[in-house]
């Protein structure tokens, strides 16, 4: 699969979360404090509600629908059922953040 451009890296900062809809898929970029920028599935595994309605505090992403909480570094669910967010391969090319839709 090809890498798809999402945004310019300079438009993001450490501690940010940014939701995208690309080719019909919800993608959530998370850049945890002290961690690496990552691209996760943008739908909550509980009831597939988009994380675009979630809250990221720089470390944990909370789905506001039912308060499941995910670690922004690993994608592991910390409050809710045992699960881990799917992750998309991510790269930065010439200052542009790209993800590979697998």
Per CB under 6 A, does 53 bind ligand FES?
no
**Coil, helix or strand for 16?**
coil
Angstrom distance (rounded) from CA 10 to CA 47? 33
- CB closer to ligand FES, 18 vs 44: 44
Per CB under 6 A, does 17 bind ligand FES?
no
End-to-end CA distance of the chain: 6
Specify whether the CB–CB gap between 65 and 44 falls below 8 A. yes
Query: In the complex, what is the shortest distance from the CB of residue 4 to ligand FES, in angstroms, rounded to a whole number?
Result: 25
- Within positions 70 to 89, which residues make up the interface with ligand FES, using CB under 6 A? none
Q: What are phi and psi of 51, to 5 degrees?
A: -70, -5
Per CB under 6 A, does 63 bind ligand FES?
yes
Query: In the complex, what is the shortest distance from the CB of residue 96 to ligand FES, in angstroms, rounded to a whole number?
Result: 30
Per CB under 6 A, does 44 bind ligand FES?
yes
* Bridge-based pairing state of the strands 25-30 and 38-41: antiparallel
Per CB under 6 A, does 65 bind ligand FES?
yes
């Amino acid at each position: 699969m090809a890498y798809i451009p999402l945004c310019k890296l300079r438009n993001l900062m450490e501690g940010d979360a940014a939701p995208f809809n690309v080719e019909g898929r919800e993608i959530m970029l998370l850049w945890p404090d002290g961690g690496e920028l990552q691209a996760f599935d943008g739908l909550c595994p509980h009831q597939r509600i988009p994380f675009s309605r979630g809250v990221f505090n720089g470390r944990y992403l909370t789905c506001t629908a039912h308060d499941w909480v995910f670690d922004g570094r690993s994608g592991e669910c910390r409050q809710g059922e045992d699960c881990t967010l799917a992750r998309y391969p991510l790269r930065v090319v010439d200052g542009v953040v790209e993800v590979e839709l697998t």
